[in-house]
């Protein structure tokens, strides 16, 4: 993926009140960061932020944390966040480190349009591979709950198999989400782009 540089990128990141620089200090105590005991939902690979920002606005009694590793992408998303949001935090990190940041405190993970890593030799880099599912086990508070959307059929089929073999029960499986989705469905930027071209969106909910 080729990322365009963003003017004043460092200034945007340094001055944002939503970007948590000392995120390692909150492992196991993110309720202290938010100053409440509301459920915590995270989106791994939040992109330009449309999905998680709209969710935080719509559901004020849920705490949301967006994870993104690319500075240029964050520089585009951070200015979009309304100043008065108190239930949203952003972390700049690689998802491989997720078990160093959270411990038994996450209620839901969103995986929206993740990198499919199409080559077989790269399958363990996929966010629904055994490598990541083992990490997720250590961060879920109680019931493990994963929501996935993708435009990539190969990744979707892989995820169905991987999640099932790891003990997850699958529901709300759709091979064309937008053919039956409600009008108030919160979407991502990628999702809007793909669906506008008539491309199917695959989705599932996994719990254990």
Q: Could you give the 3-state DSSP secondary structure of residue 147? A: strand
How is the chain split into domains, by residue range?
9-207
| 61-116 confidence digits (pLDDT tens) | 999 999 999 998 999 999 999 999 999 999 999 999 999 999 999 999 999 999 99
Q: Is 115 annotated as catalytic? A: yes
Share of the chain above pLDDT 70, in %: 97
Kindly state the tokens that stand for 146: 């994963």
**For residues 20 and 26, is the Cβ–Cβ distance under 8 A?**
yes
pTM assigned to the model:
0.94
**30 pLDDT above the threshold of 80:** yes
| 111-138 confidence digits (pLDDT tens) | 999 999 989 889 999 999 999 999 999 9
Rg of the chain over all Cα atoms, to the nearest angstrom: 17
**For residues 24 and 100, is the Cβ–Cβ distance under 8 A?**
yes
Task: Given the residues 71, 99, 115, 137, select the one marked as catalytic.
Answer: 115
Average pLDDT, the chain: 93
Compute the distance between CA of residue 159 and CA of residue 206 in angstroms, rounded to an integer: 10
What average pLDDT does this structure show over 184-202? 88
Give the architecture (CATH level 2) of 9-207: 3-Layer(aba) Sandwich (3.40)
pLDDT at residue 4, rounded to an integer: 60
CA torsion, ordered 25, 15, 70, 45, to nearest 10 deg: 60
| 36-70 confidence digits (pLDDT tens) | 999 999 999 999 999 999 999 999 999 999 999 99
């Amino acid at each position: 993926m080729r990322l365009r540089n963003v003017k004043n990128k460092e200034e945007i990141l340094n001055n944002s009140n939503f970007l948590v620089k000392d995120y390692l200090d909150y492992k196991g105590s993110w309720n202290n960061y938010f100053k409440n005991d509301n459920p915590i939902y995270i989106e791994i690979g939040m992109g330009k932020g449309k999905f998680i920002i709209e969710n935080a606005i719509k559901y004020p009694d849920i705490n949301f944390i967006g994870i993104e590793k690319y500075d240029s992408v964050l520089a585009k998303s951070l200015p979009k966040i309304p100043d008065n949001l108190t239930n949203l935090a952003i972390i700049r990190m690689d998802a491989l480190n997720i078990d160093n940041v959270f411990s038994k405190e996450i209620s839901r993970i969103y995986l929206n349009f993740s990198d499919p890593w199409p080559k077989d030799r790269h399958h363990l880099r996929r966010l629904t591979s055994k490598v990541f599912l083992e990490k997720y086990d250590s961060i879920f508070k109680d019931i493990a709950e994963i929501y996935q959307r993708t435009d990539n059929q190969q990744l979707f089929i892989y995820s169905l198999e991987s999640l099932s073999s790891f003990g997850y029960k699958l529901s709300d499986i759709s091979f064309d989400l937008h053919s039956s989705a409600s009008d108030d469905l919160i979407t991502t930027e990628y999702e809007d782009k793909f669906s506008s071209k008539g491309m199917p969106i695959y989705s599932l909910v996994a719990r254990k």
